[in-house]
């Protein structure tokens, strides 16, 4: 007769709960996150340092050249519509170095900034890997998408600034005169500071939908607040665009529309997140 095995199988052990890390363990984890992020910035910064000619001639100093893409497109459009104010002329701007170590320090600074921009997605990944254990399971599913969306928005913001905001800003500030007796000889450090600060600032501004998402999710922001302050936001954007753009409506619209679109997108995101949060609290 066939023998049957009546031995009962032991049930699988319950899943082990993740051990809560101590303060010093969290501090050690944070230290390694910072070390890896800094290492990524340094490695990419060294690469940028090596490609000095390309970085400076093709990227940093390109907005003041006549063959810059934005300058060519605006000049062609100016000829079509008959508004010559649209045609930017930054070629007369003379950039000078007034310090012995100025060009070397500028080279170092730009290399580090290039490393930060290029390593931005990885830095976000390290930030998320540090805070992810503290998130709820429902919040962890957003982590991967958040890193991707933040990286894309930041990249779009930097590119939008570089190809539009930066040339317009240089054209306005570089040609502005309080008197014809004062010539605009711009120092290298001043020019670099303007290009980098404007590009990074707009890149951060483009993260607005992400900030709105998380602030609304934790209850610090509501769609009603954004809608209530919509008109003030529009006025601020119009004032900023009027300052940095040539005196024509087309240039102002080119600057305002993308930024205004981000604000409207943020309102839509806030509505959806706020509705989900209220539904979750009602359960």
| Range picked from 104-108, 194-198, 209-213 for highest mean pLDDT | 104-108
Q: What is the pLDDT of residue 234?
A: 84
CA 242 – CA 219 distance, rounded (Å): 35
For residue 146, pLDDT beyond 70: yes
Q: What is the pLDDT of residue 242?
A: 73
CA 62 – CA 69 distance, rounded (Å): 9
Q: What is the pLDDT of residue 116?
A: 93
**Could you tell me the maximum CA-CA distance found in the chain, to the nearest angstrom?**
115
H and E: helices and strands count for the chain: 13, 2
Residues contacting 235, CB < 8 A, separation 6+: none
- Map tokens 């990074």 to a residue: 200
3-state SS class at 187? strand
Read off the pLDDT of each residue in 56-65 and give the average, rounded to a whole number: 92
For residue 60, pLDDT beyond 70: yes
Higher pLDDT, 52 or 89: 52
Give the Cβ contact number of residue 123 at 10 Å. Answer: 19
Read off the pLDDT of each residue in 194-207 and give the average, rounded to a whole number: 88
- What digits encode the pLDDT tens for the residues 61-73? 999 888 899 888 8
Structure tokens at 269: 């995101």
CA 254 – CA 241 distance, rounded (Å): 9
- What digits encode the pLDDT tens for the residues 148-191? 888 899 999 999 999 988 888 888 888 878 888 887 888 999 99
- What digits encode the pLDDT tens for the residues 12-27? 555 555 556 666 777 8
**pTM of the full structure:** 0.78
Read off the pLDDT of each residue in 193-222 and give the average, rounded to a whole number: 87
Beta strands in 47-162 (DSSP E): 94-96
CA 190 – CA 194 distance, rounded (Å): 6
First to last CA, the chain: 58
For residue 204, pLDDT beyond 80: yes
CA 80 – CA 73 distance, rounded (Å): 11
pLDDT band at 216 (very low <50, low <70, confident <90, very high): confident
pLDDT band at 246 (very low <50, low <70, confident <90, very high): low
Q: How far is CA 247 from CA 84, 87, 88, 242, in A?
A: 11, 12, 12, 7
pLDDT band at 103 (very low <50, low <70, confident <90, very high): very high
For residue 44, pLDDT beyond 90: yes
Structure tokens at 136: 């709820």
For residue 1, pLDDT beyond 50: no
CA 109 – CA 131 distance, rounded (Å): 30
Q: Tell me the average pLDDT of the chain.
A: 82
Residues contacting 51, CB < 8 A, separation 6+: none
pLDDT band at 8 (very low <50, low <70, confident <90, very high): low
pLDDT band at 94 (very low <50, low <70, confident <90, very high): confident
- What digits encode the pLDDT tens for the residues 250-278? 667 777 888 888 889 999 989 988 888 88
Q: What is the pLDDT of residue 138?
A: 61
3-state SS class at 282? helix
CA 111 – CA 48 distance, rounded (Å): 5
Kind and range of the H or E element at 238? helix 230-244
Read off the pLDDT of each residue in 56-84 and give the average, rounded to a whole number: 86
């Amino acid at each position: 007769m066939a023998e049957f095995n009546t031995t009962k199988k032991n049930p699988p052990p319950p899943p082990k709960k993740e051990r809560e890390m101590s303060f010093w363990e969290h501090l050690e984890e944070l230290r390694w996150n910072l070390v890896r992020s800094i290492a990524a910035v340094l490695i990419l910064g060294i690469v940028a340092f090596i490609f000095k000619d390309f970085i400076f001639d093709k990227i940093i100093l390109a907005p003041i050249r006549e063959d810059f893409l934005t300058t060519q497109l605006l000049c062609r459009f100016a000829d079509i519509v008959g508004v010559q104010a649209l045609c930017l002329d930054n070629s007369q701007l003379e950039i000078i170095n007034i310090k012995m170590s100025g060009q070397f320090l500028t080279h170092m600074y730009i290399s580090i900034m290039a490393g930060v921009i290029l390593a931005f997605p990885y830095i976000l990944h390290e930030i998320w890997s540090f805070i992810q254990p503290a998130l709820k399971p429902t919040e962890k599913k957003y982590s991967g998408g958040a890193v991707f969306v933040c990286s894309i928005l930041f990249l779009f913001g930097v590119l939008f600034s570089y190809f539009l905001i930066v040339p317009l800003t240089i054209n306005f500030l570089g040609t502005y005169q309080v008197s014809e007796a004062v010539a605009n000889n711009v120092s290298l450090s001043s020019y670099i500071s303007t290009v980098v600060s404007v590009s990074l600032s707009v890149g951060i501004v483009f993260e607005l939908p992400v900030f709105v998402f998380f602030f609304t999710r934790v209850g610090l922001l509501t769609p009603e607040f954004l809608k209530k302050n919509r008109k003030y936001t529009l006025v601020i954007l119009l004032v900023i665009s009027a300052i940095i753009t040539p005196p024509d409506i087309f240039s102002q619209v080119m600057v305002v529309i993308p930024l205004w679109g981000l604000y409207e997108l943020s309102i839509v995101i806030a509505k959806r997140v706020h509705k989900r949060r209220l539904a979750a609290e009602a359960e």
